[in-house]
């Protein structure tokens, strides 16, 4: 019985030892696992970092390659558009140079553009001096381009140890299917790298452009030479040329640094907590910013939709990028028909097409008119006069990205202006009729004299004829001719007076033409002298022999002169008879013809002078107060001024000044 127990007691220590060994084995295995993980994690992290760096370099290289190709493609599009314009509608030399300069401003890698005719003669160029003969690579590219009728790049040439290489882009031009010349653009590969590759990428990578023979033609290594650890090569997709983009990272291979797993876990845990907190705060701020942005967008949209002012945004190429509802209502086209469209626009009126194209060329050249009036056409043919305000559109980086236009429909304003013009014309006609009513009695007296003389001369001629018939004597032809000639002159005098009155009072549209002050004074001199004789006033006209002409409406100036002289004559009613002198003088003052009406009357008091030119202001009991107001309106209509000043010898001097006209005579109706 004791033996089995002994065996049992002997077996228990072995089982306990095995259990204790397993207890130690688990921690040891865990430690070994920890050590393995401790070694594996940094190595795996190093491998992952190396792979990530290589993949990032490949992705960045691809992005840089696409950026370089996009820059060259944009230049190709600009050259294609220029080539089309050169063949269809060649611009002026100044406009062509402006187009060249715009291309140079958009792409600094462009160092020369040359326009050749079909015989290879240089028609225009910009940038570097054109070569005497095309380089061999360019000549080969030109031959291939002529055969394919498409743009072609030449192989890179001109690269040395000290200078970078260049390549040419040859674009053949055809007019009606026949060769019409070519455009040759030269690009500097070094400038292309410097301008296109971002500084942050060049700081971490050494970039090299290689030709077909793997010879470097351009380099950029802002951060120093590459390490040769992470490299990648990518061909640029250029028709006719083989250019390889080689990138070599300046980063070293990741170092396998020893670290403690626990410390890494703690740091990672703390970093994760901090990152989660920062991420939560960032998400909260982002959601709040998005909500505020949505509110602002809704507010701006509602505000823009409530405006009656049309808004239109265009990029630097003239393409419409935005229109609001008011603009669509003005032109009668929906937004989807306008956004993204380049000129010619569907709302351009045919009669103003030349004006639109000229303004569009100014937009492409960067020169716009800040404010101008034009006319738009709706789909139903209705013309809409508009007032356009242009201003540069600047992005968040302070660079101009286009133009913003505000458009006002001024149809109602034009209608009001036309009504005002018609009312002004009626008022002027009424004033002329009132003026003639005031001098009608003097006019009747003036006409009585030539009519009485006509009657006397014709009676005398009849008497001569009667005496010759009764006596049988020979008719005295000289006496009869004298009597009839005098009667004819008096009839012409009466007719001239009537024609002057008719021309003065008849209703007509204002017409500007080249007239002289002397002819204007001669047109109303008979009426002025008539009033002057009735009031016992002496008229003196003092005009220099060489007085420039003015561009004006003759009848409106005659009305101004007649109103001013009538006021001057009336102002001298209480002046001594020997002092009643009315002077009309003219002179050239600062490129203007100044005409002065000078009287020696009672003058104008200061309290009257303040409202002298106001409508319906009059010092006469029977006056309407419209004479001087109409005079000032008529003078300002011609771009002139009307003023008054005291006469040093007593009385008043009224002076109106009009711009001199040195060009050809111009007739036209002004609305």
Averaged pLDDT, 50-63: 86
586 within 8 A of 517, measured Cβ to Cβ: yes
Band (pLDDT 50/70/90 cuts) for residue 268 is low
CATH of domain 307-409: 3.30.450.20
pLDDT value at 500 more than 80 = no
Fold of 22-252: Beta-Lactamase (3.30.450)
- So what's the pLDDT on residue 6? 44
The tens digit of pLDDT for each residue in 156-185 reads 998 887 788 899 999 999 988 889 899 999
pLDDT value at 94 more than 80 = yes
Closest by alpha carbon to 407, among 381, 382, 375? 375
pTM above 0.85? no
Phi-psi region of 349 (alpha: psi -120 to 50; beta: other; left: phi over 0): beta
Averaged pLDDT, 409-427: 74
pLDDT value at 584 more than 70 = yes
- So what's the pLDDT on residue 188? 92
- So what's the pLDDT on residue 666? 36
pLDDT value at 28 more than 90 = no
At residue 397, what are phi and psi to the nearest 5 degrees?
-90, 5
DSSP letter for 239, please.
T
Averaged pLDDT, 245-265: 67
The C-alpha atoms of residue 658 and residue 640 are separated, in whole angstroms, by: 5
The tens digit of pLDDT for each residue in 521-575 reads 888 887 788 788 888 899 999 999 889 999 988 878 887 888 899 889 988 988 8
Q: Which of 366-370, 434-438, 452-456, 480-484 has the lowest mean pLDDT?
A: 434-438
* Coil vs helix vs strand at 133: coil
- So what's the pLDDT on residue 425? 64
* Highest mean pLDDT, choosing among 88-97, 340-349, 519-528: 88-97
The C-alpha atoms of residue 421 and residue 88 are separated, in whole angstroms, by: 45
Average pLDDT of the chain is: 78
- So what's the pLDDT on residue 452? 58
User: In CATH, which of 3.40.30.10, 2.60.40.2130, 3.40.190.10, 3.30.565.10 is domain 510-671?
Assistant: 3.30.565.10
- So what's the pLDDT on residue 480? 67
Band (pLDDT 50/70/90 cuts) for residue 12 is low
- So what's the pLDDT on residue 3? 42
- So what's the pLDDT on residue 410? 79
Averaged pLDDT, 194-210: 87
- So what's the pLDDT on residue 113? 94
Distances (CA, A) of 267 to 260, 271, 603: 10, 6, 100
Distances (CA, A) of 470 to 152, 459, 466, 482: 113, 16, 6, 21
Q: Which of 20-24, 208-212, 332-336 has the lowest mean pLDDT?
A: 20-24
- So what's the pLDDT on residue 115? 93
- So what's the pLDDT on residue 186? 94
Band (pLDDT 50/70/90 cuts) for residue 657 is very high
Return the exposure string of 4-22: e unless at least 16 CB atoms fall within 10 Å of the residue's CB, then b.
eeeeeeeeeeeeeeeeeee
- Count of residues making up the chain: 671
pLDDT value at 441 more than 70 = no
The tens digit of pLDDT for each residue in 639-656 reads 899 888 898 888 899 999
The tens digit of pLDDT for each residue in 279-296 reads 778 888 888 888 888 888
Band (pLDDT 50/70/90 cuts) for residue 616 is very low
pLDDT value at 336 more than 80 = yes
Give the 3-state DSSP-derived string for 558-613, with helices as H, strands as E and coil as C: HHHHHHHHHHHHHHCCCCCHHHCEEEEEEEECCCEEEEEEECCCCCCCHHHHCCCC
Averaged pLDDT, 434-443: 55
The C-alpha atoms of residue 133 and residue 94 are separated, in whole angstroms, by: 26
- So what's the pLDDT on residue 619? 52
The rounded percent of the chain whose pLDDT value lies above 70 is 75
Return the exposure string of 62-79: e unless at least 16 CB atoms fall within 10 Å of the residue's CB, then b.
eebbeebeebbeebbebb
Q: Which of 106-115, 292-301, 567-576, 654-663 has the lowest mean pLDDT?
A: 292-301
Give the 3-state DSSP-derived string for 265-315, with helices as H, strands as E and coil as C: HHHHHHHHHHHHHHHHHHHHHHHHHHHHHHHHHHHHHHHHHHCCCEEEEEE
């Amino acid at each position: 019985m004791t033996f089995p127990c002994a065996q049992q007691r002997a077996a228990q220590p072995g089982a306990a030892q095995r259990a204790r060994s397993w207890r130690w084995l688990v921690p040891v295995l865990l430690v070994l696992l920890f050590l393995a993980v401790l070694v594996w994690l940094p190595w795996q992290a190093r491998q992952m970092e190396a792979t990530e760096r290589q993949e990032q370099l490949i992705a960045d290289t691809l992005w840089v390659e696409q950026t370089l190709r996009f820059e060259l493609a944009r230049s190709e599009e600009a050259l294609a558009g220029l080539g089309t314009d050169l063949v269809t509608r060649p611009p002026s030399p100044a406009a062509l140079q402006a187009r060249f300069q715009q291309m140079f401003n958009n792409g600094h890698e462009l160092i020369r553009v040359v326009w050749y005719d079909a015989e290879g003669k240089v028609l225009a160029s910009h940038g570097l001096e054109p070569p005497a003969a095309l380089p061999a690579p360019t000549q080969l590219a030109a031959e291939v381009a002529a055969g394919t009728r498409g743009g072609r790049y030449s192989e890179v040439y001109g690269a040395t140890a000290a200078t970078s290489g260049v390549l040419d882009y040859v674009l053949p031009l055809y007019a009606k299917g026949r060769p019409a010349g070519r455009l040759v653009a030269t690009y500097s590969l070094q400038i292309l790298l410097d301008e296109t590759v971002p500084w942050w990428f060049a700081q971490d990578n050494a970039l090299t452009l290689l030709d077909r023979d793997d010879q470097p033609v351009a380099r950029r290594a802002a951060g120093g030479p590459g390490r040769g650890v992470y490299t990648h090569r990518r061909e640029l997709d250029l028709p006719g040329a083989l250019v390889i983009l080689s990138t070599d990272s300046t980063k070293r291979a990741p170092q396998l640094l020893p670290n403690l797993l626990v410390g890494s876990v703690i740091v990672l845990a703390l970093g994760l907590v901090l990152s989660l907190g920062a991420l939560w705060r960032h998400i909260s701020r982002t959601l709040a910013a998005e909500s505020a942005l949505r509110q602002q967008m809704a507010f701006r949209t509602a505000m823009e939709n409530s405006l009656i002012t049309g808004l239109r945004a265009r990029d630097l190429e003239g393409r419409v990028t935005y229109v609001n509802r008011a603009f669509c209502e003005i032109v009668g086209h929906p937004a989807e028909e306008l956004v993204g469209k380049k000129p010619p626009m569907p709302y351009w009126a045919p009669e103003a097409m030349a004006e639109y194209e000229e303004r569009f060329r100014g937009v492409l050249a960067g020169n716009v008119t800040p404010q101008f009036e034009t006319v738009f056409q709706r789909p139903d043919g209705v013309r809409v006069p508009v007032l356009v305000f242009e201003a540069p559109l600047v992005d968040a980086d302070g660079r101009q990205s286009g133009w913003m236009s505000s458009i006002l429909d001024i149809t109602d304003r034009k209608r009001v202006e036309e009504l005002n013009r018609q009312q002004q014309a009626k008022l002027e006609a009424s004033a002329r009729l009132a003026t003639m009513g005031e001098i009608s009695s003097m006019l009747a007296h003036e006409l009585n004299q030539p009519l009485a003389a006509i009657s006397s001369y014709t009676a005398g001629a009849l008497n001569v004829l009667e005496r010759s018939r009764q006596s049988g004597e020979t008719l005295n032809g000289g006496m009869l001719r004298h009597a009839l000639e005098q009667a004819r002159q008096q009839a012409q005098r009466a007719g001239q007076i009537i024609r002057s009155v008719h021309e003065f009072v008849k209703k007509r549209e204002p017409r500007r033409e080249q007239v002289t002050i002397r002819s204007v004074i001669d047109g109303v001199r008979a009426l002025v002298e008539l009033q002057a004789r009735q009031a016992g006033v002496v008229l003196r006209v003092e005009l220099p022999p060489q007085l420039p002409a003015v561009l004006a409406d003759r009848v409106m100036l005659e009305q101004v002169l007649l109103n001013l002289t009538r006021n001057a004559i009336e102002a001298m009613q209480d002046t001594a008879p020997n002092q009643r002198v009315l002077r009309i003088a003219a002179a050239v003052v600062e490129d203007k013809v100044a005409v002065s009406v000078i009287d020696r009357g009672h003058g104008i008091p200061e309290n009257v002078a303040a409202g002298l030119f106001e409508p319906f202001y009059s010092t006469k009991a029977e006056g309407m107060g419209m004479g001087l107001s109409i005079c000032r309106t008529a003078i300002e209509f011609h771009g002139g001024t009307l003023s008054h000043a005291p006469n040093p010898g007593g009385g008043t001097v009224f002076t109106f000044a009009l711009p001199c006209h040195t060009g050809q005579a111009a007739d036209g109706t002004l609305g």
